[in-house]
């Protein structure tokens, strides 16, 4: 219709930046294809645990390979940060999925505060 914006062609999508085109399943598949296929969980005390090897470490000591965010365009409570990291004990890559904002658990909030800054 006249006066309405044209449909976006997605040429302006910035890799790693939140967009309505991203979803958790797609991000996890992309990271798995890059070798980050393990699950990593936030645990008490600002620490994380790898599912495959059981290694537990301080989130502050993680080396972050990539950060992807989902900002819940249709549901503002659906805000997630997905970190691609490797286990220093076994070198297994994995995805650490954390809620941020009002949906974050205490463990997730502690890990988010402890994580090293990304550029």
Confidence of residue 7 (pLDDT cuts 50, 70, 90): very low
Please determine, for residue 77, whether its predicted confidence score (pLDDT) is greater than 80: no
Please determine, for residue 78, whether its predicted confidence score (pLDDT) is greater than 90: no
Q: Output DSSP code: residue 113.
A: H
Please determine, for residue 97, whether its predicted confidence score (pLDDT) is greater than 90: yes
Please determine, for residue 55, whether its predicted confidence score (pLDDT) is greater than 90: yes
Please determine, for residue 23, whether its predicted confidence score (pLDDT) is greater than 50: yes
Q: Return phi, psi of residue 59, to 5°.
A: -60, -30
Confidence of residue 101 (pLDDT cuts 50, 70, 90): confident
At which residue do the structure tokens 């549901």 appear?
Answer: 75
Average pLDDT over residues 65-83: 82
- The Cβ of residue 56 has, within 10 Å, a number of other Cβ atoms equal to 14
The dihedral sign for the CA sequence 50, 39, 64, 76: negative
Average pLDDT, the chain: 84
**Per-residue model confidence (pLDDT) at position 76:** 64
Please determine, for residue 5, whether its predicted confidence score (pLDDT) is greater than 60: no
For residue 57, give the 3-state DSSP assignment: strand
Rounded to whole angstroms, the Cα distance separating 57 from 39 reads 14
């Amino acid at each position: 219709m006249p006066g309405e914006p044209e449909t976006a062609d997605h040429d302006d999508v910035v890799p790693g930046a939140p967009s309505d085109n991203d979803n958790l399943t797609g991000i996890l598949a992309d990271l798995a294809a890059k070798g980050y296929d393990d699950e990593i969980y936030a645990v008490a005390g600002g620490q994380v645990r790898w599912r495959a090897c059981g290694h537990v470490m301080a989130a502050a000591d993680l080396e972050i390979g990539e950060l992807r965010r989902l900002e819940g365009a249709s549901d503002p409570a659906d805000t997630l940060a997905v970190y691609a990291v490797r286990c220093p004990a076994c070198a297994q890559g994995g995805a650490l999925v954390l809620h941020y904002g009002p949906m974050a658990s205490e463990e997730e909030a502690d890990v988010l505060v402890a994580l090293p800054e990304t550029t």
